[in-house]
Chains A and B, each alone.
Chain A
Amino acid sequence: MSNYGSFLHLSKPASMMTAQASSTPTPLNIIIHPQSLFSILDHTLRRNEGQERVIGTLLGQRSEDGTEIEIRSAFAVPHIESAAQVEIDMEYHKTMYNLYHKANPKEILVGWYATSLELNAFSALIQNFYSSVSDGTYPYPAVHLTMQVDPSSDISIKTYISTNVGVLPDKISESCLFVPVPNELRYAESERSGLELVASAKNNESRETSIISDIANLEKSIEEVISMLDRVSAYVASVQDGTSPGNAAIGKFLLSNLSLAPKIDPDELEKLFNSHLQDILLVVYLSNTIKTQMQLFNSLKRTAVIS
Chain B
Amino acid sequence: PEETVTSSFASFIHAVRPEHLSEIVCHRSKRMILDSIGVGLVGSTTHVFDIALKYCLLYSSVAVSNVYGKPGVKLSPTLAAFTNGVATHSMDFDDTWHPATHPSGAVLPALLAASQMLPPNSKPNGLDFLLAFNVGLEVQGRLMHFSTEAHNIPKRFHPPSVVGTMGSAAATAKLLSLSMAQCTHALGIAASLAGAPMANAATQAKPLHIGNATRLGLEAALLAARGMEANPFILDDISGCSGFSAFYSIYQPKPLSTPNEHHEFLLEKQDIAFKRFPAHLGMHWVVDAALSVRNLFINYAGSFSPSLIRTIVLKIPVSKYINRPFPNSEHQARHSFQFNACTALLDGEVGLSSFTESSIHRQELRELLHKVVVEHPEDNVANFDKMYGEVALLLKSGDVLTGKCDTFYGHWRKPLSRESLLKKFRSNASHVLPEEKVETIITMVDNLENLSDSSQL
Q: Do A and B come from one complex?
A: no
